[in-house]
Amino acid sequence: MTLLKVHSYAAGDWIAPGSGARPIHSAVNGKLIAESGGATLDFARMLDFARSKGGTSLRAMGFHERAAMLKQLALYLNERREALYEISYETGATLGDHKFDIDGGIGTLFVFSSKGRREMPDGNVYLDGDLERFGKTGSFMGQHVAVPLQGVALHINAFNFPVWGMLEKLAPALLAGVPAIVKPATATAYVTELAVRMMLESGILPEGALQFIAGGTGDLLDRLGGQDVVSFTGSAATGTMLRATPNILANAVRFVAEQDSLNASILGPDVAPGTPAFDIFIKEAHREMTTKAGQKCTAIRRIIVPEAHQEAVIEALSARLAKTVIGDPREKDTRMGALVSADQKADVLAKAAIIGEEAERVFGNPDDFALNGNVDRGAFLPPMLFHCANPDTATKVHETEAFGPVSTVMPYRDLAHAIALANRGEGSLVASVVTESGDVARAVVMDAGPTHGRLYFNNPASAAEATGHGAPMPHMIHGGPGRAGGGEELGGVRGVLHYMQRTAVQGSPDLITAIGNRWVPGAAEIEGPAHPFTRGFHELEIGETIRTPAREITLDDIEHFAHFTGDTFYAHMNEEAAAANPFFPGRVAHGYLLLAFAAGLFVQPDPGPVLANTGLDALRFLKPVVPGDSLRVRLTVKQKTRRTAEYGEVRWHVTLMNQDDDMVAEYELLTMNAY
């Protein structure tokens, strides 16, 4: 294999390693395969390049344009993932591990692209929460908005996921409109560099949107300001050191940390050996010990089981571990590869020795294990299972993480004891529970929720679609309190907002409408040249309104609707019973009758740009309508969202009023309109 020179990409140039470059050895055979770092980088120039070029270009795009960009990136990488698989074998990872990392990262791009298109507006101002009204007339109101930060996202990533670790941070940053500087861990930087080269060579990203550091960050953290974000994944010690950088503290630089933690898995008190739920528990524990050779920030480190079942768990898990083929990750029957380096192996063994002071090793001998393929011991280790018989008096098993295929079984007396043991980790990324009891699940959420970033429940009812204890999903937050770093990543739009500034905006309805490009009640109403249903998507203006003539609601209307639909609820058909209801003055019109009549009042029946009614949101019935009342409608274009090159979604604000101008109902109508 040709020696790889891991280059940095700074201010538009690829920069080769310098004289102080660090060597990188194959995890499989120990041979020198790459060198990285040592070059002198101009960090001031890199920051200016990101802010002036990357940030400016990204902010000029709307959320939907940036979402489309992410989808293009995902498709581009997906077509080239075989090359990423191949180079990743040198990290010690198996094909299954590659898919977890590379396919998982590409999938994250797809998810954030979808979130951007479906859950964010077709513009560059995100409306956060509902409108707030401060007075009786509605002439002054407030709205929380979020806009892109005007700085740089510095992403400092761990060695274990060289592709997913980068893309799970990059996707929300780019969707927010913030350029990124990526700094991977040296041990696997050559994999990340290849992915970065692919993305840059695609031509999909604006210039300055992505830069890459191979090596140290020098004085980069000292140059950051209040518009910048640092997102870190790695050890608690490194995270604490970086977070304490004086400049980070002085300028209140946003710092998002996702740190290694002592994650736990609890076998519910309702689950017994020999049941499908028990088998699920063993399968999850085995997978988390062996995937990526246990080098996952979400891996199960503490296996918490009922006292009566501890021997059964040890026996079942040991039997499964014994069948795990360890060795050359390129061999098809290998199921667990090597640790990333000899140094990492030494660290795992040192931490395992500490755990061994309070627990007995019941499976896995690091000095005696078989290897598949033509490889030597090098950075390989077998899975090692420990048993801590007295977890209450132990301390080291609750504070020491061996970042490899190491886990400890510990017994509990009752559910409260199990939760207390899980919480002894003092903050983790994830805890899992295998249970079929809703009471158990509720108790865990209430008492373990404060110390865990994610709670994963599984049982036979969910097993077919369950994503796994150790698999953070882009839709859900990833992070945790305390030892886990106190940060959050992913989580769909929540992750995007980490790279945006939430601002409270106050003003008149017209100004709030202009800022959010979304009509609010009280803002100006525009009279169009023709019925809005006859005008194409691009012709419609925000605030364009029609007001319909009135229609009287008769008793015959109510009775006909009741018999026609079968809705003969007493409030519509029995005067005495309806009058006894404190909400009604007597017989009243059906709410859905009002909606049907409203549509009849505002719909333009001829073929035109309106293609389909796709939904109705935020329906509220505000005042009863009795026979003799009249009904009229105000229909206003509230918001427009492009969906394809042929059509877009129009959100209409619909208000139903009676003869006294009292509002009787309000809702939002969604239609798809041709351009």
Active-site positions read 258, 297
| CA 4 distance to own-chain centroid | 33
d(C-alpha 152, C-alpha 181), whole Å: 7
Kindly state the helix (H) or strand (E) to which residue 494 belongs, with its residue range: helix 493-497
- The single-letter code of the amino acid at 661 is D
| CA 574 distance to own-chain centroid | 52
CA distances from 331 to 96, 141, 217, 372 (A): 12, 65, 37, 8
d(C-alpha 146, C-alpha 662), whole Å: 34
* Beta strands at 264-267 and 302-306: parallel, antiparallel or unpaired: parallel
Q: Is residue 667 classed as helix, strand or coil in its secondary structure?
A: strand
List the one residue out of 112, 163, 143, 117 whose CA is nearest residue 494: 112
Q: Which two tokens stand for residue 546?
A: 């029609």
Instruction: Give me the long-range contacts of 638-641 (CB less than 8 A, separation at least 24).
Output: 638/518, 638/519, 638/542, 638/668, 639/121, 639/517, 639/518, 639/519, 639/542, 640/122, 640/537, 640/540, 640/542, 641/64, 641/121, 641/122
- The single-letter code of the amino acid at 548 is T
User: What are the residues whose beta carbons fall under 8 Å from the beta carbon of 457, sequence distance 6 or more?
Assistant: 432, 433, 434, 435, 441, 444
Q: For the chain, give the number of residues.
A: 675
* Beta strands at 551-552 and 630-642: parallel, antiparallel or unpaired: antiparallel
Q: Which two tokens stand for residue 89?
A: 């074998």
Q: Which two tokens stand for residue 270?
A: 């309702």
List the one residue out of 409, 365, 367 whose CA is nearest residue 387: 409
d(C-alpha 46, C-alpha 211), whole Å: 8
Handedness of CA 274, 277, 282, 286 (dihedral sign): positive
**3-state helix/strand/coil string of 579-630:** HHCCCCCCCCCCHHHHHHHHHHHHCCCCCCCEEEEEEEEEEEECCCCCCCCE
- The single-letter code of the amino acid at 664 is V
Q: Is residue 151 classed as helix, strand or coil in its secondary structure?
A: coil
d(C-alpha 168, C-alpha 112), whole Å: 9
d(C-alpha 4, C-alpha 214), whole Å: 12
Cβ atoms of 125 and 497 within 8 Å: the answer is no
- The single-letter code of the amino acid at 271 is V
Cβ atoms of 7 and 194 within 8 Å: the answer is no
DSSP codes joined into one string, 507-576 = E-HHHHHHHHTS--TTS--B--SS-GGGS-TTT--TTBEEEPPPEE--HHHHHHHHHHH----HHHH-HH
CA distances from 355 to 84, 118, 387, 391, 408 (A): 36, 47, 10, 11, 8
Instruction: Burial-class residue 464 by CB neighbours within 10 Å (0-12, 13-18, 19+).
Output: exposed
d(C-alpha 451, C-alpha 469), whole Å: 16
